[in-house]
Amino acid sequence: MNSCELVTLVSFLSCLISNSYDNEELAVLAAVFTQLGDSLATILANKDLLDKKCP
């Protein structure tokens, strides 16, 4: 999947989800996905750090 296809997919899913939940539920889902992304970024950064320290 190329970058444009990925952006289109994410936008489509966002629209689909936003039409299925109320504003309060959407706020929680947005927070959950933000936390998920942040957690994945933290894990990747930590793995990179450990790989550099212990090749």
pLDDT, one tens digit per residue, over 29-46 is 999 999 999 999 999 999
SS3 28: helix
pTM of the model: 0.78
- Give Cα 25 to chain centroid, integer Å: 17
Number of alpha carbons in the 13 Å side-chain half-sphere of residue 7: 3
Q: What is the DSSP string of 29-43?
A: HHHHHHHHHHHHHHH
CA distance 54 to 36: 27
What would the pLDDT profile of 11-32 be if each residue is shown by its tens digit? 999 999 999 999 999 999 999 9
